[in-house]
Structure 1
Amino acid sequence: MPAFDMAGKLAEGLPAPAGAWSPIPKYSFVGGNNDSPSVPVGGLTEAAMAVLAKHGSNLATYNLGGNPQGFEGLRSFVAQSLAANAHMPTDPDQVLVVSGSLQALDLVNAAFLRPGDVVVAEEATYGGMISKVKRRGASCVGAELDDDGIIPERLESLLDELAAAGTPPRFIYTIPTVQNPTGSVMPVERRRRILAIARRFGVPIFEDECYSDLQWTGERPPTLRALDCAESEGQSAVVYCGSFSKSIAPALRVGYLVADVPIIRQLAALKDDAGTGALEQLVLAEYANAHFDDHVSQLRDTLRAKCRVIRRAVNTHLGALSRVAIKLGGPVQVTDPKGGIFVWLTFPSGTDTARYLAPAAERGIQFNEGAAWSVDPSWGARRMRLCFGSLPDDDIRDGVAALAEVIAAN
């Protein structure tokens, strides 16, 4: 009997099959992994024991027998934390717990996008957002950035152009606080200007703040949603996304959306997974209510120190006096982020950082080429994102030095 061709039965248009799993290399500067010694293992263990004793029998029922928007104790913590830390008064009924920010992206895209639609995103932005928009048959258009985020005048001109072309965007996607990948923080006055422009054009905003707890310079600004609610008598055109992946641990896969109740209920109707993992929600609520602010404060200090290490290494091995600068005709510029786990590098004109992927991999080095984190891949080709969150200081130094050797040799 001939072999059955299962692959021939698959639907068309699927992404390429995943490759075989391989261990994380020694010098992995990719992804959003965080500092493993900072994971509060002891506190999470205590919280898990406590919640299993109190709520364990409720695991027999989907959503613990409660609201499908998520465990009330966690939604209440999110609401209180946003009010205290992000100047954003929030009702627990405005919170939908999701399986990480990636599910949040899927839900918002499903609710707002149709094939052929346009999304305005920052010219350098989260690569996962770009790919997810494309999978829905929509496209992203880039808004120009400076050190404070989206440039209002450029956004206004872009929205004028899109309106004139008959393709007004379905929403604006922005990461205003600890932008990914640049690490910038948008000032309050600019936030107000961005909101005013969006209102004038009638465009909603999708505000992604997954890294905002990790801001280490200055006071955390009020969210766009907070400012919008204050100026619009409680009815906001902003959908807000947050996550525990960066503040606690990526593998927990717990995030949340905040929006006006009618929008949250529509998003909840699209969330057909029978609920985000209940045990994770229980543990997070128990732990976070007692320890979140202290834990995040310590994590910020750790990441800020690591950021100094990687910036020093980049300036040493890729800066003005380096072999790389001589080869490329100029130094590599590195951002000075205001928080988070990334630095964003800009190489001299004519460089394509993707050319270094294969030789770097042979040396056990991984990085994110800039094209994948840019709405316009040609604009991003001479850029590179490095995650410093998960590596020890010595590996950061040695990894950047090894990457410089790869670049100089290729």
Structure 2
Amino acid sequence: MSHTEPTHASFDVRSKMASGLPPPAPTWTPIQRYSFVGGNNDSPSVPVGGLAEAAVNAINRHGPALATYNLGGNPQGYEALREFIAANLAAEAALPISADDVLVVSGSLQALDLVIAAFVEPGDVVVAEEATYGGIISKLTRAGARCEPARLDDDGIVPEALDQLLGELASQDRLPKLIYTIPTVQNPTGSVMPTERRHQLLEVARRWDVVIFEDDCYADLQWDGERPPAIAALARDGRDVGRVVYCGSFSKSIAPALRVGFIAAEAPVMRQLLALKDDAGTGAVEQLILAEYSAAHFVDHVRELRATLREKCHVMRHAVATHFGALSQVAIKLGGPVQVTDPKGGIFVWLTFPSGTDTARYLAPAAERGIQFNEGAAWSVDPQWGARRMRLCFGSLSHDDIRGGVAALAEVIAAS
């Protein structure tokens, strides 16, 4: 019996890969001078000296424990760091938890992955704010879920509109598993949900028996007004064990590259998340350094960072008003001025262009000028609703580059 070997002109490795993968990542390019994308923060504000001192002290004391996964301790994370997180949430967000309620994760992105894995199956519906973090949209899509938009106003999710949406979904036998919300310094709008509305949101979730996933990773950067209690804090009355899953991060308060976040959850949720977190533990060195540094310096550092970012926000909003306002060339070109949010914290402004604008069409000509921005469609549950919107990050740019970048972006739009 003869056997003929198959022949191929060339090997196509992608033909062997799984179906349903996202498009391949583009070739890496350096961050541009006028990069308004991502969640990068103010580099001079990174507490390099304090972190260096903390690293030396922590590793000198605990270095031998690096020989063992999880430092030989609890798989939920380094206990001293979890104790700091619990104490800080109690003081700042009125969330009465202990270290046993905290799971340290590799950035808030891992928190999203774990919570989605625990609650969401293909075909499920998840409700998110109509303008929201682009990462949650892509992760839910990859999980096979359908995302439905909850209407926003200047105070966050509108409870009456949410209640109506859930009723409509229930009538279609599509009641969601989760409501994903960023109530404190919302991304991208920068709004802060008032306490009364948080109560109303919780009541809606109770009425329709839905879990709330509260993403508070920007909450430490609130500079305007008193920080409200976390929604998770309002649910701690015995009626809602596991109803609200809370996550936060050190990425915005200390440094994004540290990749340390956390989940706060009650026992039924925590035990399931631990079963899903099969990575042998979040980086221990980062946890040691953060615990050492934060115990002594976190409050003062965050206070200074808020002031720095608030000033940058003023510079950004003034630049947008100058170059995108009613008398600008952009307004003449588009038939009206661009509206810009007035954030209560964080590192973003959210722009709304006149009807009929598609901000994605400016991506390529802006890139040719060394300008990067986030088109609104990628940060909106309904891409058509978001098409005339744009997110600009001011966190990492100097005052001069904010002014220069906004002016250059306006020139691109006016000429396109």
- Does residue 316 (structure 1) correspond to residue 330 (structure 2)? The answer is no
| Aligned-pair Cα RMSD in Å | 1.0
How many percent of aligned residue pairs carry the same amino acid?
73
- Does residue 35 (structure 1) correspond to residue 42 (structure 2)? The answer is yes
Q: Which amino acid aligns with 2:278?
A: D
After TM superposition, what 4+ stretches of structure 1 lie above 4 angstroms from structure 2?
none
Unaligned residue ranges in structure 2 (runs of 5+):
1-6
Quote the offset at 1:82 in angstroms.
0.3
Q: CA–CA distance in 2 between the matches of 1:65 and 1:269? A: 18
Aligned pairs for 1:208-227 (under 5 A) are 208-227=215-234
Q: Is this contact kept in 2: 1:178–1:211, CA < 8 A?
A: yes
Q: Which amino acid aligns with 1:223?
A: A
Q: Which amino acid aligns with 1:341?
A: I
Q: CA–CA distance in 2 between the matches of 1:239 and 1:196? A: 16
Unaligned residue ranges in structure 1 (runs of 5+):
none
Number of the residue aligned with 2:109:
102
Q: Is this contact kept in 2: 1:225–1:236, CA < 8 A?
A: no
- Does residue 342 (structure 1) correspond to residue 356 (structure 2)? The answer is no
Aligned pairs for 1:185-224 (under 5 A) are 185-224=192-231
- Does residue 365 (structure 1) correspond to residue 364 (structure 2)? The answer is no
- Does residue 259 (structure 1) correspond to residue 265 (structure 2)? The answer is yes
Q: CA–CA distance in 2 between the matches of 1:336 and 1:214? A: 14
Q: CA–CA distance in 1 between the matches of 2:172 and 2:15? A: 41
Q: Which amino acid aligns with 1:91?
A: S
Q: Which amino acid aligns with 1:50?
A: N
Number of the residue aligned with 1:87:
94
Q: Which amino acid aligns with 2:405?
A: G
- Does residue 171 (structure 1) correspond to residue 174 (structure 2)? The answer is no
Q: CA–CA distance in 2 between the matches of 1:232 and 1:357? A: 50
Q: CA–CA distance in 2 between the matches of 1:113 and 1:85? A: 30
Q: Which amino acid aligns with 1:92?
A: A
Q: Is this contact kept in 2: 1:319–1:332, CA < 8 A?
A: yes
Q: Normalized against structure 1, the TM-score is what? A: 0.99
Number of the residue aligned with 1:284:
290
Residue-pair matches, total: 409
Q: CA–CA distance in 1 between the matches of 2:413 and 2:327? A: 15
Q: Residue 152 of structure 1: which of 148, 159, 162 is its match?
A: 159
Q: Is this contact kept in 2: 1:183–1:336, CA < 8 A?
A: yes
Q: CA–CA distance in 1 between the matches of 2:285 and 2:175? A: 42
Q: CA–CA distance in 1 between the matches of 2:42 and 2:410? A: 24
Quote the offset at 1:171 in angstroms.
0.7
> Residue 349 of structure 2: SS of its match in structure 1?
strand
Q: Which amino acid aligns with 1:303?
A: L
Q: Is this contact kept in 1: 2:242–2:269, CA < 8 A?
A: no
Q: Residue 338 of structure 2: which of 312, 332, 342 is its match?
A: 332
1:84-108: per-residue Cα shift (whole Å, max 9, x none)?
A: 1111111111100000010000000
Quote the offset at 1:3 in angstroms.
4.3
Q: CA–CA distance in 2 between the matches of 1:211 and 1:401? A: 27
Q: Is this contact kept in 1: 2:93–2:230, CA < 8 A?
A: yes
Aligned pairs for 1:270-281 (under 5 A) are 270-281=276-287
Q: Which amino acid aligns with 2:173?
A: G
